[in-house]
Amino acid sequence: MAYPALFLDRDGVVNVDHGHAVTHREFEFMDGVFDLTRMAMDRGYRVAIVTNQAGIAHGDFTESEFLQFTGWMVDAFRIRGVDIAGVFHSPYHPQGQVQAYVRDSFWRKPSPGMILEAARSLGLDLSRSILVGDQVTDMLAAARAGIGRKILLGQQPQQAADHNASHLREVIPFLTGWSNRPPGIRH
């Protein structure tokens, strides 16, 4: 049986977006992110992070630095009782400065590559999954991947989103029931 997932964008959803954060001093977890992810796990969701990291392509930090910092972030969740099933990132950008990462990639949102890879590698049912993002590109990637519910955090309503939320606690009611329903049933 495939699992539903709670997909989270990183900058602006997992952490306050202060620009490209790859050190502990630059990183501030969003209020409510641990409560939301614990609740998701309790209801049978796998938690995955899908994040564009154009700072790698622009030379702001290396992919190795990003991966090392991601390990710290995942450990911070684990300490608080949350198992992050996977972190998927796109280091690419068409106008980057680091030649190895200069391209338009299927993994870069609004394309669905990261989400589809997460579904494949983690055994996810995207139709019963939720994505929370803070950009229209997050909503478009979710729609293109076939995610069942798209929630836009902290912005004016957009047609690409199913729902808008001003705080992560507003996402919790959407977690009810899907994890225990057979695939294909939505409310």
The answer to whether residue 11 is catalytic is yes
Residue type, 129: S
The answer to whether residue 60 is catalytic is no
Catalytic annotation, pick one of 9, 125, 134, 138: 9
- Tokens 């519910």 correspond to 149
What string of H, E and C letters represents the secondary structure of 82-128? CCEEEEEEECCCCCCCCHHHCCCCCCCCCCCHHHHHHHHHHCECHHH
- Say how far residue 104 (Cα) sits from the centre of its chain: 20
- Say how far residue 82 (Cα) sits from the centre of its chain: 15
Active site residues: 9, 11
